[in-house]
Structure 1
Amino acid sequence: MRIINVKEFGAVGDAETDDSEAIKKAAQSLQNDTTLYFPSGTYLVKQEGTLLVIEKLYDIKVVFDQDAVLLMDNLDSTGKGTGHAFYIKGPGENLLLSGIKVKWKVLPSSRSMGDGIMIDGPCNETGPSSIYTFKHISIENCSFENTPQTGMILMGCSNVAIKNITLKNTLADGVHLNACQHYTINGISGENVGDDNVALVTYYKAASASLYNKSSGPYAQDELGEWSNYKGSIDNINSNDNSGANGIRIAGAYHVNISNVKAQGKKAGIIIDAGKKGGTFHWEYQASKAISVHNVTAEACHVGIHVMSFNVNFEEARFWDFDVSLNNIQIANCKHDNFLIEKCSGISCNNVDSHGKRCRMINLNNFSLTNLISHRGSVIVHGLSVLAQKAGSSVMPESNISIDSLSVHEGNIQIENAKGVDVNYLYTYKSSKDNGLVFHNLQQAQFSTIISKFAGSRGILISNCQHISVMSAFIESERQKFTSIEIGGGNQASISDDISIITAAYKSDSNQNDVVLQKGKVGPKNISINLSYTTNKKQQKWKHFKLNP
């Protein structure tokens, strides 16, 4: 393989001499099966525009010595960027970028033209394909600082390996992939990244549209498929700053495994979103499928984990019907929500440990939760009924919510607005609010074991519910004035009906059973509760409540 040394073309690398022209001449001499080498030195670039262009070449290496740095000093008079450090255009194959260190001398005045590395695979009029792409790309041990746009962006590329990347003060995303396939991203460290530390984004455009059917990115797909950032893995991502963007963003992706993520101070540790244009949203993304997330730690973010759809129309499942699995999540002390899932379907959550803030899972369909423990933060689970009503439906849609184990210490649990709920175990301890457990506007819900200890004024509140079955309930209180179980009726359109608590136990310092059943025309009907309660004299008594219309 031929080696081209930039110093042989006149580059000095003394941080004072403008090496722009020498580097361009060296790059222009590149041919297939060539290495472009930067020896030790600081290479000053003062010429405006893109510095280094590689187009339609094969078997190319760009290698920086351990002490080589590309110092970009080519902002315009307003402080904005004027071009990329590296621009690589396909089609091509077998590209190695090793040890590249790019730094803009001063931070640009605003987000503007200039990526550390831009690789654009296709060169045809219909976007990426197996022929029109840049494939077999390795980018390793690189760093990017003060970039006007991204640290690196790859569009329409295939078989990509990105490893050990350091990002600082980029004004846009750190690492951005658009419409790529078969890739690994391992070891990304970002500090004060202006947008997402790592972003996988493929836009949506209907097949008949032509906006993105062109020979340069960004690219859109009309269906999730093999160019929707397909079959990738993301591992060992560290985002630590208060830049206000996200640690990882996933939009319109297909078959992605994400693991070992740490985020602090971000807008969201991880966000997975989809939706349609409108309001503040200027792009469209399809709901991502086959996304698996493992081992995430998020602290002091605005939201720890966020899955959402925006501007949703429930007749268009492509924008809200996800397939996402979230596993082994630890979140603490976020500003708004530790854990927020909203307006979507097809989410499963397993082993979530939350501290210091609430968790909300709202407007959901086909949702499952296994083993969530929240410390000093309530948990709220809502089905689809509110959104259905806003869409004009008079019938509550199926929500299909499954909860295996949910525990809250110093907070309460609310499950509302859902049809089709199956719960194995609920536990709440020392709720600072009035109610320990709240079930509101539910239909066809089954609960195996529910426990409420030391709530504010009510252990369990049930209202506007129909066809509810509780196998076993336990309530404990230290208060003299307390309601163990309260069943409210509702309104003329939705009266609580067919509610059964097969076995309930109540322990308190009161001498009463403290059960309240609302009376009146809209009071509940067809109620059955078998309650044992322990008096302040340590005597156990039984009471059967049965209420028929």
Structure 2
Amino acid sequence: MRGAGNPLVRPLAKSRYHFSTGASVVRASRQEQIMKMSRRRLLGCLPAVALLAASPLAQAGATVDVRDFGAVGDGVTDDSAAIRNAAAALRSGKTLWFPKGSYRFAEQYPQSGAAVAINGLSDFAVDFEPGAELLMDNIDPEQGVGTSHAILITGASSRIMLRNITIRWAKQKSRSHGDGIRILGFPGDAGSKPPDWTGSKGTVHGVRIVNCSIESSPQAGVIFIGASDINVSKLVVKNTQGDGLHFHACRKGVIDNYTAINTGDDGLALVSYYTDGFSYDPTSDNFAFSNLGNWSIADFDITNVTVRGGHANGVRLAGANGVSITGLNISGVHTGAGVICDSSAPGVDTGWHYVAARGIELKQVDIENCDTGLQLLARPNTATDSRFTDFDVHVSDAVIRDCDNWSVRMESLTDQRTTGLRLDSATVVAQSDRDGKGGVSLENTHNVSIGNLSIQHTLPVVMFYANNSSSLELGTIHMTVTDSAQPRDASTPGLNIQNSTYTIGAIDVDRPGSPPDWTPIRLAKETATCNIGAAGSPATLGTVAVRPASIQRWITSC
């Protein structure tokens, strides 16, 4: 951000990128020009990605080599000054190059805020040779906190390539200060400049991060704030104290093949915050909006995400406005949900506030061994405001296994009902004997649509529960209790719906070894009328099949 200096540049024998002398970058091959990509994968055919960011085969004319500035790269020598000076020498059309080696950055609280700080520069790359790493060794030993980011890019900047970068913190303390890669721009068309914003109103756009690894950062692995036209592929983040990969107030992103391992917060966070009017918090570098808009994590196409472990949620969507995720594989998240979409209105004690996410598509979802699988959580205040209750989330092809609390949970924390979940198909396999006991739960909801739902549980627990839920549509639900050796409990129904209105196409129940006095289905009234299927009834029920035939009574109603 504050780094500038005299360049020391030498030509490459084999150069890596080719930059034009202007603001564009020349593609290297006709093959790349004719690559078939979807509109989103090409990011709207904008120069931000179609030029530098999408040209791994392109060639360069010159490089800024950290060794030319005195860097040793032996993992012991303090290379801080050499790294800072090399970064300050970077110019448009150049590549900051780290040859093979371990480059130790030990300077605490650097004035620029990072080991590599780049401000207001376009058409550049940072590239590591295989076997090169940036070793961050600048934890404050007295305070036990991080003292800088590894790489910091601030606007206005465009057409940026970060390639083959490996960043590792030598020591890890408590969550504090220091992201692996931090990119701070400005949500350019969000309106007038907000109070407290002193940075550039120019945007950061056209950023590509390819084949990078971040480990043990005191805060996030990679964070984007106020950036657009983003492409992230083959990123691995592990053992961070904060989020793995975080997007805030961004738009137009393509993410593919991302892996988060044991992150201190969310594995993948897509968040925009709420205030009454466009605002900026200088303490946290957070922008906030009053409504969903073009910069509310809008137009993101995400594929092939893997999350292992972590200390919050696998994926979090809050205040997002148009995100498609295909191919989620999440396991071992024991302190939160595999995927959570949540809202928080002013007056709710959550620290941050955000409106309900809309335009969310989740496909090919695989969640295993988490506290909760898929969660939609509305936190409205006492005022009626649909911004905090009305989600738009469409889920298909979900498989959720061995979640302790709930596999699927949707709820509002007040009497204002939350809406907007469409679950086309889901398979749930559970064996939990605690908390919600691993099934599916709806509380204070409206207009939830579930197509084909299969729930298999080892125990005779409530596998599907709905309370205070209106206009519930459930196509087909299959419920199976697999362990016939369990105590012959006859008191707990497998499906329990109360104080709700609903339409159910078909219910299929199988409990080998069931006691004959078990009643698997309990349907309790919301109104005085409870004759299922009769005029004025709150319920419509299609076919019911229950096995074994020895079960005497299938349904308890009213």
TM-score higher than 0.5: yes
Q: Secondary structure in 2 aligned to 1:275?
A: coil
Q: Which residue of 1 aligns with 2:421?
A: 347
Amino acid at match of 1:96: M
Q: Distance in 2 between matches of 1:382 and 1:96?
A: 49
Q: Which residue of 2 aligns with 1:396?
A: none
Are the counterparts in 1 of residues 365 and 397 from structure 2 also a CA contact under 8 Å?
yes
Q: Which residue of 1 aligns with 2:126?
A: 62
Are the counterparts in 1 of residues 505 and 542 from structure 2 also a CA contact under 8 Å?
no
Amino acid at match of 1:332: R
Q: Distance in 1 between matches of 2:547 and 2:133?
A: 66
Q: What's the CA shift for 1:101?
A: 0.5
Q: Which residue of 1 aligns with 2:83?
A: 23
Are the counterparts in 1 of residues 476 and 507 from structure 2 also a CA contact under 8 Å?
yes
Q: 1:102 to 1:361 in 2, by over 3 A?
A: same
Q: Which residue of 1 aligns with 2:415?
A: none
Q: Which residue of 2 aligns with 1:507?
A: none
Q: What's the CA shift for 1:155?
A: 0.3
Q: Secondary structure in 2 aligned to 1:80?
A: coil
Amino acid at match of 2:183: I
The yes-or-no answer on 1:309 pairing with 2:383 is no
The yes-or-no answer on 1:409 pairing with 2:480 is yes
Q: Which residue of 2 aligns with 1:200?
A: 270
Q: Secondary structure in 2 aligned to 1:23?
A: helix
Match of 2:214 among 114, 128, 144: 144
Q: Distance in 1 between matches of 2:198 and 2:324?
A: 22
1:83-482 matches, within 5 Å, as 83-107=148-172, 109-122=173-186, 125-126=193-194, 132-207=202-277, 210=279, 212=281, 217-241=285-309, 243-266=310-333, 267-277=336-346, 280-313=349-382, 315-343=384-412, 344-356=418-430, 357-376=438-457, 378-382=462-466, 384=468, 399-410=470-481, 412-419=494-501, 421-430=502-511, 434-443=518-527, 466=537, 468-470=539-541, 472-473=543-544, 479=550, 482=552
Q: Secondary structure in 1 aligned to 2:259?
A: strand
Query: Which digits, 9 at most, give the CA deviation of each residue in 1:302-354, with x for residues without a partner?
Result: 01111111244461110110000011111111111111111220110011000
Q: 1:446 to 1:47 in 2, by over 3 A?
A: farther
Q: Distance in 2 between matches of 1:486 and 1:66?
A: 66
Q: What's the CA shift for 1:80?
A: 1.2
Q: 1:368 to 1:470 in 2, by over 3 A?
A: closer
Q: Secondary structure in 2 aligned to 1:114?
A: coil
Between 1 and 2, higher relative CO (CA 8 Å, sep ≥ 6) is seen in: 2
Q: 1:3 to 1:263 in 2, by over 3 A?
A: same
More moved, 227-236 vs 337-346: 337-346
Q: What's the CA shift for 1:417?
A: 1.7
Q: What's the CA shift for 1:139?
A: 0.5
Q: 1:21 to 1:474 in 2, by over 3 A?
A: closer
Are the counterparts in 1 of residues 532 and 538 from structure 2 also a CA contact under 8 Å?
no
Amino acid at match of 1:298: I
The yes-or-no answer on 1:73 pairing with 2:123 is no
Q: Distance in 2 between matches of 1:471 and 1:366?
A: 19
Q: Distance in 1 between matches of 2:384 and 2:295?
A: 25
Q: What's the CA shift for 1:362?
A: 2.1
Q: Distance in 1 between matches of 2:473 and 2:382?
A: 24
Q: Which residue of 2 aligns with 1:511?
A: none
Q: 1:128 to 1:152 in 2, by over 3 A?
A: farther
Amino acid at match of 1:416: Q
Q: Distance in 1 between matches of 2:146 and 2:540?
A: 64
For structure 2, the 5+ residue unaligned runs are: 1-60, 413-417, 431-437, 482-492
Are the counterparts in 1 of residues 279 and 287 from structure 2 also a CA contact under 8 Å?
no
Are the counterparts in 2 of residues 151 and 167 from structure 1 also a CA contact under 8 Å?
yes
Q: Distance in 1 between matches of 2:340 and 2:556?
A: 38
Q: Distance in 2 between matches of 1:316 and 1:176?
A: 27
Q: Secondary structure in 1 aligned to 2:123?
A: strand
Amino acid at match of 1:98: R
Q: 1:273 to 1:479 in 2, by over 3 A?
A: same
Q: Secondary structure in 2 aligned to 1:25?
A: helix
Are the counterparts in 2 of residues 244 and 265 from structure 1 also a CA contact under 8 Å?
no
Q: What's the CA shift for 1:246?
A: 1.2
Q: What's the CA shift for 1:249?
A: 0.6
Amino acid at match of 1:340: R
Q: 1:301 to 1:476 in 2, by over 3 A?
A: closer
Query: Structure 1-normalised TM-score?
Result: 0.77
Q: 1:485 to 1:21 in 2, by over 3 A?
A: closer
Amino acid at match of 1:239: V
Are the counterparts in 1 of residues 519 and 553 from structure 2 also a CA contact under 8 Å?
no
Q: What's the CA shift for 1:441?
A: 2.0
Q: What's the CA shift for 1:217?
A: 2.5
More moved, 276-285 vs 469-478: 469-478
More moved, 165-174 vs 313-322: 313-322
Q: Distance in 1 between matches of 2:253 and 2:555?
A: 54
Q: Distance in 2 between matches of 1:121 and 1:416?
A: 49
Amino acid at match of 1:136: G
Query: Structure 2-normalised TM-score?
Result: 0.76
Q: What's the CA shift for 1:471?
A: 5.5
Aligned length: 454
Q: What's the CA shift for 1:219?
A: 1.1
Q: 1:128 to 1:240 in 2, by over 3 A?
A: farther
Q: Secondary structure in 1 aligned to 2:286?
A: coil
Q: 1:236 to 1:163 in 2, by over 3 A?
A: same
Match of 1:40 among 100, 121, 135: 100
Are the counterparts in 1 of residues 234 and 258 from structure 2 also a CA contact under 8 Å?
yes
Q: Secondary structure in 1 aligned to 2:524?
A: strand
Q: What's the CA shift for 1:276?
A: 2.1
Cα RMSD, aligned residues only: 2.7
Q: 1:130 to 1:259 in 2, by over 3 A?
A: farther
Larger CA Rg, structure 1 vs 2: 1
Q: What's the CA shift for 1:466?
A: 4.4
